[in-house]
Amino acid sequence: MDYLTLALAKGRTAEDSINLLNKAGIHFDSLTEDSRKLVFHDDNNMIQLIFVKAVDVPTYVENGAADLGIVGKDNIMEEQPDIYELLDLQFGKCKFAVAGFTGTELDTNKTLIVASKYPNAAKKHFNRKGIPIHTIKLNGSVELAPIIGLSDVIVDIVETGSTLRENGLSVLEEMEAISTRLIVNKASFTTKSDSVHTFIHTLKNSLE
């Protein structure tokens, strides 16, 4: 039997993802928090784990380099990959929001300049509302953009809200609720049907 390759997002949800896998009886022996290793194996369950940047998980799964992926809905919405999204794993909960200076409102009489790690999701949101925007793609510390005059507002994920607060910003408009999802490559879903379904079933049971 071949290994099933699972792409797992590094960063904020990695620990919860590993805990869920462990609860499901999937263990990677040499996996430690400070390890720089990127590939791990569970030979009992025939699972190969690869650690990739969250933003890249949809790409690995869409292209079949990974059969499965565990990643936030934010990255799925941004990348719009051609995959199956099969389970809401119920952790990494946060929300997409438009944020700007506390006490201000969205100025919809002009083309808004929106900085974001998620320019596609931002465009989609404002298009739906018929508000013209110009997006600026950033890769982190997005809250800095309005402060430094790079943008009018930001579109970002908000979890505790402390990054916004500590930078004099507030949510001006809530967008979608976000959580971590299990995604599957479309071809693997068919060609590796048995092992993919066993994996999904095992994970589902551990959620309940």
Residues that bind ligand PRP (CB under 6 A): 12, 140-143, 156-163
In the complex, the smallest distance separating the C-beta of residue 182 from ligand PRP, rounded to whole angstroms, is: 21
| Exposure b/e, 23-39, CB count within 10 A at least 16 = b | ebebebeebeeeeeeee
**Residue 47: CB minimum distance to ligand PRP, A:** 26
12 or 123: whose CB is closer to ligand PRP?
12
C-beta of 146: minimal distance to ligand PRP in Å? Answer: 13
By C-beta, is 12 or 27 nearer to ligand PRP? Answer: 12
Cβ atoms 4, 192 nearer than 8 A:
yes
Task: Give backbone dihedrals phi and psi of 144, rounded to 5 degrees, phi first.
Answer: -70, -30
Task: Using the minimum distance from each CB to ligand PRP, give the nearer residue, 85 or 161.
Answer: 161
Give min distance, CB of 147 to ligand PRP, in A: 13
Of 117, 94, 55, nearest to 179 by C-alpha is 94
* Cα–Cα dist 117/142, whole Å: 7
What token pair was written down for 12? 């904020």
Taking the least distance from each CB to ligand PRP, the nearer of 100 and 185 is 100
